[in-house]
Structure 1
Amino acid sequence: MIKKIIVLLAGMLVTVAVYAAGAQLRADHPDSYTVRRGDTLWDISAKFLSKPWLWPEIWQANPQVRNPHLIYPGDVLNLSFINGPRVGLQPSVHREGEAVPAIPLSELKMFLKDMRVMNSEEVSSAPYVVGLEEARLRGAVGQNIYVRGLQGEPGQRWAIVRPSHVFRGFDQDDAASADLVAHDLDSNAAMVRSPWREDSRNDGHYGKGDDLGVEVSVIGTAETLRTGDPATLLLLNATQEIRSGDRIMPLDESPYDAYYYPHAPKSVPANAKVIGFADAMDAAGPRQVVMLSIGAKDGVDNGQTYTIFEPGETIHDDVASNSWNRSFGERVKLPDEYVGHVMVFRTFDRVSYGLVMDGLRPVHVGGRLAMPE
């Protein structure tokens, strides 16, 4: 391991000069930095690079470096401008813990393992829980559940999911047709005949256009005991009580990447926007998860990094209108405002989850995505 880090050090001395134009050192970079527990590679890079998402280009440009994540707590990063930009890494003698990740994976466990965005038809046609042991209203671990429409063999394990959000665009006739929204499903989200019933407030404001997908939450796992219609499954574990109408899906054995490599996209789709928050009501900030209106079908992959801009407001021009009466006169749209950066960490067909990496102001729904410059 030490030998590999020494190779990394030697390669970085050459590579930083090559990429100096694109990955410049910040004017206020520290002379040295000791890697600490809880750090991420993005955080460390932001301390000395003007564009922290370019660190893989520096640390992975050498064919000898198999994995740019091999930096550990206790390692010392030295920076200087002697004969040009130089970066050096002094590995610690006693390595403890795991290598520093690119992003805080531990904080994203729920979204990496327990959340999926699926086509609405996939959800509505999936096998479903039709009843519970002893005609109970709710199922608990160790009890039998009965499922209709399930194909499989005894011993096969399944995920139990429940719809939580629907992602939808506006009608094309709507003046706000360029906008997209995500909104909660109501308490009847698991009904058998209608797998979800949208919020009663679902008018033009909440969107009536094309479905982008339905977010489902994995709330338990079960194992097939007997096949048939209905099939008998044993509930192995659950984070919520299981009820009739919950859907059955195959287990996702590898739901997320082990490593993330931040990189700029080749292009940004015109409809690329922030459409929802995971754990916020009105706005999100650094280290919070947001939903984006683009996915794999738009060429999005994990690690893509975007700049978020807040759309500029359209205001009344009092001077040009020669009036302070804002009911008429000339109006002007202000420039979009820079908000921060978001990195995609999980991608579905038409929706992606992103982690807000940094920012100067809160992220709101409708924030526009652009190239990370």
Structure 2
Amino acid sequence: MDVKAKRWQDGPLRWAWGTGIALLLTATLAQAQGLSWEQGLRSDAPDRYTVVRGDTLWHISGRFLRHPWQWPEVWQVNPQIRNPHLIYPGDVVYLYDCNGRPCLGLERGQGQVRLSPEVRRIPVREAIEPIPLDTVRHFLRDHRVIDDPESLDELAYVVAGNDRRIISGAGDRIYARGELENGQRYGIYRVGERYSDAATGETLGLELISIGRARAGRSEDGIALMEVLSASQEVRNEDIVLPLEERELISEFEPRAPESDVDGTILAVPGGVRFIGRLQVVALDRGRQDGLETGHVLQVEQQGERVVDPRTGESLRLPGTDAGLVMVFRPYERMSYGLVMQATRSLEVGDRLHNPRRGVGVAQR
């Protein structure tokens, strides 16, 4: 055990991070699967950090752990905390020895919680976020992906705007063809990118971009009059009309490695960008059928360069380089959306994805 680890073991040194993740890990889990002092902690980790507004779990844990996504492996439930699911600005997480492994406990910030005789209730909205939710909010609430593009022919769609308008907005009336129920609210979507497997050409999913919402009125001969209630873009002819999904915003993530081996690639970046940086959303060519779930973390590997052997003149491919981490936040059946959490260089469409390696850290950028 090095000097810093020994100093941590001798007396509880306290540091903090924020999380909105609902996960209770027991001491047994921490001891059975936890990281060693040498594996888990950065050599330059500060002794103490107090959570401030705007912090996220990933950002703060990266100050202390060599692999930020492995934070659950050193988390220890503190029985004094009535609700360890939520962490607030001012809270402190402290590090202590747990049978030879580092464990974490939580200490509530002064003036926020009194353990006795009663706990002050703090609104959930004040808890800090596990990741920057504003970056992925649109994909979690409004974006949709359909597995079978051929099914588009069976969906209702806009055929005209009122007064022969080509585009319409909030407050306007439009006409849609299809089976629509009078008085019901519907989502309006525009066909986006078709995601295909680079090797086989198989369609993995068709992106539907949310445009707005509308309410169906009376219909005649299969054509319904609709009122546009809201619109983020102009509503156009051929936009798709679908029943609304009552989808709550997911605000809790459990970062972890996939249980099974994953070997995939970055398919695309919504919006058509090719070079990718930290906190950008990317489309992945693996989904639920490949074992991916919300919170799964994948390593990004960039293909090695081609060089010429100076002695033989032979063309060689250098080994690949680990260049970043992506966390899945919205898995579909055959593809997923992920958020780039770390990147040591600009990532690219086509970069390989695989299970994260424990032995090699990725520097944050």
User: Shorter-chain TM-score: what band?
Assistant: 0.7 to 0.9
User: Using a 3 Å threshold, how does the CA distance of structure 1 residues 246 and 89 change in structure 2: closer, same or farther?
Assistant: same
Structure 2 counterpart SS, 1:111: helix
RMSD of aligned residue pairs (Cα, Å):
2.9
Q: CA deviation at 1:26?
A: 2.0
- Letter of the aligned partner of 2:227 in structure 1? L
- TM-score, structure 1 normalization: 0.77
Which residue among 230, 243, 255 is the counterpart of 1:262? 255
Displacement of 1:158:
0.5
Aligned to 2:35: 20
Q: How much has 1:257 moved relative to structure 2?
A: 2.4
The secondary structure found in structure 1 opposite 2:58 is helix
Contact 2:216-2:227 at 8 Å conserved across structures? yes
Alpha-carbon shift at residue 77 of structure 1 (Å): 2.7
C-alpha deviation, 1:280, in angstroms: 6.5
The answer (yes or no) to whether the contact 2:130–2:251 under 8 Å persists in 1 is no
Say which of 39, 42, 50 aligns to 2:66.
Answer: 50
SS at match of 1:73: coil
Q: Partners of 2:253 and 2:301 in 1: how far apart?
A: 23
Question: Are 1:69 and 1:101, in contact at CA under 8 Å, matched by a contact in 2?
Answer: no
Q: Does 1:360 align with 2:344?
A: yes
Report the AA paired with residue 106 of structure 2. L
Q: Deviations over 1:256-303 (max 9, x none)?
A: 523111111122344x10111135623111111111111112221111
Match of 1:253 among 239, 246, 249: 246
Moved over 6 A (4+): 10-15, 60-67
Please state how far the C-alpha of 1:102 moved relative to its aligned partner.
1.5
> 1:304-337 CA distances to partner (integer Å, 9 max, x unpaired)?
100000011232213123xxxxxxxx22111001
Q: Which residue of 2 aligns with 1:94?
A: 111
SS of the aligned residue for 1:273 comes to strand
Q: Provide, for residues 4-53 of structure 1, a one-character-per-residue CA deviation record: whole Å limited to 9, x for no partner.
A: x9xx9x98888755513396222222101111111111112212122221
Distance 1:286 1:351, change over 3 A: same
The structure-2 alpha-carbon separation of the partners of 1:106 and 1:62, relative to structure 1 and needing over 3 Å to count, comes to same
Aligned with residue 244 of structure 1, among 237, 253, 259: 237
2:302 alignment partner in structure 1? 310
1:330-341 to 2 correspondences below 5 Å: 330-341=314-325
In structure 2, the residue matched to 1:114 is 142
Q: Distance in 1 between matches of 2:164 and 2:228?
A: 15
Q: What pairs up with 1:38-187 in 2 under 5 angstroms?
A: 38-59=54-75, 68-79=84-95, 85-95=102-112, 98-119=126-147, 120-152=149-181, 154-170=182-198, 177=199
Change (3 A) 1:25 1:100: same
Q: State how far apart, in whole Å, the 2-side matches of 1:347 and 1:166 are.
A: 16
Aligned to 2:118: none
Q: Evaluate the alpha carbon distance shift between residue 106 and residue 67 of structure 1 in structure 2; reply closer, same or farther with a 3 A threshold.
A: farther
Percent sequence identity is 39
Aligned residue number for residue 197 of structure 1: none
The answer to whether the 8 Å contact 2:191/2:206 transfers is: yes
TM-score, normalised on structure 2? 0.79
1:365 and 1:49 map into 2 onto residues whose CA distance is: 28
Structure 1 gap segments, 5+ residues each: 171-176, 179-208, 322-329
Note if 1:231 corresponds to 2:248. no
Alignment match of 2:53 (pick from 37, 41, 61): 37
| C-alpha contact 1:317 1:331 (8 A) present in aligned 2 | yes
- Residue in 1 aligned with 2:116? none
1:301 maps to which of 268, 288, 293:
293
Aligned length: 319
Say which of 329, 332, 344 aligns to 1:348: 332
